[in-house]
Amino acid sequence: MFFSNQRNYLNGGCVSAVVVFMLWTVAPRFSVAGGVENDSTKKLNQKIYFTPADDHFISSEINKKIDKVDGMKILEFVKTLTADSFEGRASGTIGYNKAGQWLAGQFKRVGIKPFLKHSYFQPFKIAHQYIRQRIYADVKGDSAETFNVIGWIEGQELKNEFVVMTAHLDHLGMKLSMTGDKDTIFYGANDNASGVSVMLSVGETLVEMKPKRSILFVAFSGEEVGLLGSKYFVEHSPVPLEQIRFLLNLDLVGSGHDGIMVQGVNDFPQEFSTVSGINRSYFGFELSTRPNSPNSDQYYFNALGVPAFFMYAYKGTNPYHLPGDVWQGLDMMVLENVAKFSAMVVWKFAQF
């Protein structure tokens, strides 16, 4: 997750990062068909048992597939992405490149196809001024080469309409020791190996389900240095932005039991109604909302009129932007529930 104290810039203009919180809580008091089984709001670390609701777009087959999502497997993905060999996944470094290659290999393994001329990679450059200011990366020259990782599940009826799922792959990197002691790795388990791992799980769950619309999966680089990977994507989009039906961005989704924050809903009430309806019918989590803000990769899409929401688990306990953000601090049940919820949301938008 990118943290901006005061300002961010889009096309030379200044956009304030000050946001106003608006709370919206779901607290179901009765059972509905396919809904929660009691009258209390579910916590993200609770096991959720749900049955198919009366929903034309979500069949019993997809319901069964989503119900098999395994939080332990997602946590194993997180563990891999936070390995020492990836050196904190700083954009423009060998460690990030290794992580990107690993993710592309996982896309291929589960059947998510490359999207860009038989390649999973969308290369771009990051000026060193951004790297020096915000992350730990020992890179040379005026700029660093990096890339977004992009794969897709091809739609069966509306191939050229897209539902997009995103998460940033990069983190803060590795602070080199000046005294000969051990280098300090910023592992970025919750921020954002968690989001990438949930995205991979959703892709693996949906890949054989033959969606009506195409589903695009994008792991961004450059988020921690100023949302530069997503900015590059919207400026050089491989798909017309007007053909994106909905975008769901995941960041910080492995720690935080209280509920889910959905950011960017103000201008898209119909899309939020769909998201909250899925929650009421199948899960019963507490949902809160915030306006769009330049703190993660949904920002530029949303600002340009694409229905794009940022979803995260709030009141997390893992350290933020510190070396202690490690996989051992994450909750596999939180990962599992966010993955199930995300899969249901992505599938619904892909079908109607």
Distance between CA 172 and CA 99 in Å, rounded?
13
pLDDT of residue 25: 35
In 181-199, which positions are buried (b, 16+ CB within 10 angstroms) versus exposed (e)? Answer: eeeebbbbbbbbbbbbbbb
Distance of CA 29 to the CA centre of its chain: 31
- Residue pair 262/272 in contact (Cβ under 8 Å)? The answer is yes
Per-residue CA distances from 186 to 90, 102, 164, 193 (Å): 9, 19, 28, 12
pLDDT in tens, the chain (352 residues): 876 543 333 333 333 333 333 333 333 322 333 334 434 589 999 998 866 667 777 888 888 899 999 999 999 999 999 999 999 999 999 999 999 999 999 999 999 999 998 899 999 999 998 998 899 998 788 999 999 999 999 999 999 999 999 999 999 999 988 777 789 999 999 999 999 999 999 999 999 999 999 999 999 999 999 999 999 999 999 999 999 999 999 999 999 999 999 999 999 999 999 999 999 999 999 999 999 999 999 999 999 999 999 999 998 999 999 999 999 999 999 999 999 999 999 999 999 9
Global confidence as pTM? 0.89
Q: Pairing between strand 7-10 and 13-16?
A: antiparallel
Q: Pairing between strand 113-114 and 287-290?
A: unpaired
Q: Is 158 exposed, middle or buried (0-12, 13-18, 19+ CB in 10 A)?
A: middle
Place of tokens 């470094």: 93
* Token code pair at residue 217: 């999966």
- Contacting residues for 128 by C-beta, under 8 A, at least 6 apart: 139, 141, 142, 143, 144
Distance of CA 91 to the CA centre of its chain: 17
Give me the CATH topology for the region 7-351. Answer: Aminopeptidase (3.40.630)
Distance of CA 349 to the CA centre of its chain: 16
Q: Pairing between strand 259-263 and 173-175?
A: unpaired
